[in-house]
Structure 1
Amino acid sequence: MFKQLKLLDVDQVKALREIAANGKFVDGKISNPHSKIKNNLQLHDVKAYEESSRILNDALMSNSEFLEFAFPDIVAPPLITLHRPGMNYGLHADNAIIPLPEGPIRSDISCTIFLNDADEYEGGALRVTHGEASMRFKGTPGSAIVYPSYTLHEVEKVTKGERMVAITFIQSKVRDVMKRNLLYEFNEVAALEGLNMRHENYTRLQAAQYNLMRMWME
């Protein structure tokens, strides 16, 4: 249900941080004016947004781990956001439908991409709940965490420094999270152990994979 990725290289992180340094940021409520829990800043500069989104989207769509885990159909253009001292984003689940200029998408998977070092700020962990348990993430620059959009999650208050991340939402070709995870596990086993299996057994495993994909992919 959760996947941590190494997504961006040093040059990509540097380029994104330079775009952010020269870009205009506005109150994050511009995209959700009725929210009582959203307290952040987001990039609001057409040219900077297009360039940063291109870099981030290209990185996602060329990352084999992301493709094999998320089965992406549509990826919303990633958006750089900032949290400064006193800012947080309260506990919430992401909207089921994300409006985009090209038409709305269903948010099956959420993704946070870390753009600065955890040592540069205090607080600001991404806390994702799972039942009564919760996990906190403060990734290294260029790393990402992918998780189901329906989970309750929050960005804890930043008390010092500045937290810079990019966020995006993914409509998956496999809507159901359990089915998606089963396909991922089958694919992982086939990739790791396929060469050690008898050919006829590996062929049967592949047939089962393909048939499940036919049944479940949209």
Structure 2
Amino acid sequence: MTPLAALPFLPEAVIFDMDGLMIDSERVSIACWSQAAGELALPIEDTFWLQLVGLGDRDCELLLREHIDAAQMQALYTRCHDLYEARTQQGLPLRPGILELLELLKQHDIPRAVATSTREPRASRKLAACGLLPYFAAVVTSSDVSHPKPAPDIYLLAAAKLGKAPARCLALEDSPAGTRAALAAGMTVIQVPDLVAPDAAQRALGHRIASSLTDVHALLLPHFAR
């Protein structure tokens, strides 16, 4: 991977996506979608589920409508929800490097917020269950905006809640949709891909793409040493 360009400034705030970036939940989510569809004998290939990563409910439904009818979709959502809730109650693993990064930002009093496509109250429940909720001054979800990712609304609201200009914020994302949302908000963006690798069009956006949150940690360190 090409070495990451240095950050041009010390961010006044850092805004984090949740699923796939901080919490290793996308694999669980896809497994639940796939299991639910299989149990219901729906005509959906396993490769389809990756398309839903990072999208809000509305966009997921639009994609699903290309394959199943309204009744099948309702049954799918109900069963997937039950499966996912059972899995999350067992606890979800964290992505490597997230606690070290959050501790670094906390140590240097850099404000932090979450900007996630997951709706409330599930978002706060997951953050609390993983021990992450105390690190954040604000949690913004798709329940709080009219237009979810890839629209910039979630990121703009997160910056407003922290009282920071978007241009002075660093956004951390894993998904293509989330990356586009943060860029559209005018933020400096570092993408840390999980399940969906950036394609040529994504790379052409010109943002930084890191292999891990440990790399993000390393990018920030020089600013704190000054």
TM-score w.r.t. length of structure 2: 0.24
Write 1 or 2 for the structure with the bigger share of strand: 1
- RCO higher in structure (CA 8 A, sep ≥6): 2
Write 1 or 2 for the structure with the bigger share of helix: 2
Give 1 or 2 for the bigger CA radius of gyration: 1
TM-score w.r.t. length of structure 1: 0.25
